[in-house]
Amino acid sequence: MSIYQHFRPEEKEFIDQAINWIDQVKDSYAPKLTDFLDPRQQEILTSLLGNDSEAKLQFNGGSDFVERKRVLIYPDYYSPEPSDFNISLYDISYPKKFVTLEHRQILGTLMSLGVKREKFGDIIVTEECIQFVAAEEMEAYLTGNLEKIGKASVSIKRLPIGNIIQVQEKWEEQITTVSSLRLDSVLSAVLNMSRQKTQALITSGKVKVNFKQTENVSDECREGDTLSIRGFGRCKIMSIDGKTKKNKWRITLGRQK
């Protein structure tokens, strides 16, 4: 039985990489630190390792409440330390009185500097301040190059990782029924709009399934999937609870508050 059948076809490349990391740790008997992984990648890595007695996993992204985390895969003799994760926390100073900065602007600026997405973790935006987490090896580059976000002049300051803002996500659960588990059908129930409109959102690149953009309206949704819809927030399929007498699927959704 192929390991790939438990996952989506587009996840194959990451699965191969993850298997390679695990094998590397077992063969070299030394720890391996990954870049920042999104929650779906963390889930895949955890399920691939299973109950393996030769290798273990530990996650760290600066806080229990962050999404993106670096993962240390290590042999059974090893005791991980927080310093093994090589993560830094930065505070962004900007003229708050005159400018409002949004998550997508900060993300876009970091990417435009040529920083790969996997080299930084969560970006935390509150009314009081903005912080982001990055790989320690990026410090010199970030402090030397991050001077503007949009038209605003900014500066960054490194803070102890313990100073990270603890923002807990809240999910509001609701139970609904859908005619099929196709992405357009599930989104139609989530957003309370016609399938025609949800298909337009998907084909115009505004929808992500498990943090990856998809333009396929007939993608089948699975339990645990996170759906992000630009302009409408995010929801999670908490559980697929079987079929009703009218042959519809009953699902429990979490909407991000």
CATH number for the domain harbouring residue 107: 3.30.70.330
**What residues make up the domain containing 139?**
87-163
CATH number for the domain harbouring residue 179: 3.10.290.10
For the four alpha carbons of 127, 129, 132 and 133, in that order, the dihedral sign comes to: negative
Do 187 and 206 lie in one domain? The reply is: yes
Do 211 and 184 lie in one domain? The reply is: yes
pLDDT band (50, 70, 90) for residue 1: low
pLDDT band (50, 70, 90) for residue 142: very high
Do 211 and 141 lie in one domain? The reply is: no
Do 210 and 251 lie in one domain? The reply is: yes
Do 30 and 68 lie in one domain? The reply is: yes
Instruction: Give me the percent of the chain exceeding a pLDDT of 90.
Output: 63
- d(Cα 206, Cα 199) in Å, to the nearest integer? 10
Do 159 and 125 lie in one domain? The reply is: yes
- d(Cα 133, Cα 59) in Å, to the nearest integer? 14
Where among 68, 83, 98 does a domain terminate? 83
CB atoms within 10 A of CB 189: 20
CATH number for the domain harbouring residue 62: 3.30.1370.160
In order, the DSSP letters of 221-250 are P-TT-EEEETTTEEEEEEEEEEE-TTSPEE
Residue 220 β-bridge partners = 182
Do 15 and 65 lie in one domain? The reply is: yes
Is the pLDDT at 112 greater than 70? The verdict is yes
Residue 116's contacts (CB-CB under 8 Å, 6 or more residues apart) are: 35
- d(Cα 167, Cα 67) in Å, to the nearest integer? 11
Is the pLDDT at 24 greater than 90? The verdict is yes
CA-derived radius of gyration, the chain: 20
The two structure tokens encoding residue 72: 């240390």
Quote the pTM value.
0.81
Residue 123 β-bridge partners = 132
Do 219 and 178 lie in one domain? The reply is: yes
Q: Which pLDDT score is estimated for 217?
A: 92
Do 153 and 190 lie in one domain? The reply is: no
Do 56 and 110 lie in one domain? The reply is: no
Where among 137, 163, 189 does a domain terminate? 163
Where among 57, 83, 109 does a domain terminate? 83
Count up the domains in the chain and report the number.
Answer: 3
Do 232 and 186 lie in one domain? The reply is: yes
Do 252 and 177 lie in one domain? The reply is: yes
Helix/strand/coil for 50 = coil
